[in-house]
Amino acid sequence: MFMEQQIVTIKALDKVTHDVLKIVTEKPNNYNFNPGQATEISINKPAWNDERRPFTFTSLPQDNYLEFTIKTYPSHNGVTNELLQLKVNDELIVHDVFGTIGFGGDGIFIAGGAGVTPFISIFRFLQSKNKIGNNKLIFANKTKADIILKEEFENLLGNNFINVLSDEKVEGYEHGFINELLLKKHINNKEQKFYLCGPEPMMEAIEKQLINLNIDTEMIIKEKF
Ligand SMILES: Cc1cc2nc3c(=O)[nH]c(=O)nc-3n(C[C@H](O)[C@H](O)[C@H](O)COP(=O)(O)OP(=O)(O)OC[C@H]3O[C@@H](n4cnc5c(N)ncnc54)[C@H](O)[C@@H]3O)c2cc1C
């Protein structure tokens, strides 16, 4: 599908955590994507319509709307701060669809912060097919308040939802950064897929740890945020 750009109207805007916005928009006709994929978004306002930033669809391909789950950085004057100023009926511009993360078999999903967004879409897709199975999510955040869609993941994954908090000690949660020991504890099977998404330093560290644990690099599917 080739599409240069398309203006879509915002239908709903909600906060899902203290700094994460959920934005629902219209969906252009014949606009298709796979769970895990993204598009570039800009804001349809003078001074902003050329500022494109990548965001992942968190709605499902079959939904008749688009949903995005966006961590905002109000401390500097970028696109995500400007998104915080928008209201229902304001417009966004969406572009072509891209992205390397897609579901390629059951496995362990490892996310840092907003790096969980491709996995939101994939887990919702699996649930819609009754195929959540034994997939596991290891989710790293600074504090409990930063966990995106905590309740939804708890309901979807039960004990296969493992939270790791770097800046807060909470009972029942892992504390610190993801490390080899923690991965070893939660990897029940090395012959499965490992999906990685988050900030670059985290991704590099975890990929090394997985390789040290004898995970085949071909089993690692990743995207840097
Ligand atoms: C394929 C892909 C898909 C993505 N999907 C999502 C998604 O679904 N949801 C999501 O939340 N994010 C997603 N991201 C990340 C998102 O694109 C960035 O967070 C966004 O571009 C930031 O835009 P900005 O204009 O607000 O910040 P920019 O001006 O572009 O700033 C870039 C980066 O600088 C850092 N920064 C912000 N404020 C400061 C500051 N005051 N000082 C220093 N550094 C700062 C942030 O880490 C920010 O990401 C995705 C990224 C990629 C590559």
> Is the distance from the beta carbon of residue 59 to the nearest atom of ligand 1 less than 6 Å?
no
Chunked into runs of 10 residues, the chain (225 residues) has average pLDDT values of 83 98 96 96 96 97 97 94 97 94 96 98 97 97 98 97 98 96 94 96 97 96 93
Query: pTM higher than 0.85 for the full model?
Result: yes
Query: How far apart are the C-alpha atoms of 211 and 190, rounded to whole Å?
Result: 11
Pairing between strand 65-71 and 38-43?
unpaired
> Is the distance from the beta carbon of residue 77 to the nearest atom of ligand 1 less than 6 Å?
no
Q: What is the DSSP string of 83-116?
A: HTT--TT-EEEEEEEE-S----SSEEEEEEGGGG
Looking at residue 3, what is its pLDDT? 66
Q: Which atom of ligand 1 is nearest to the CA of 83?
A: 26
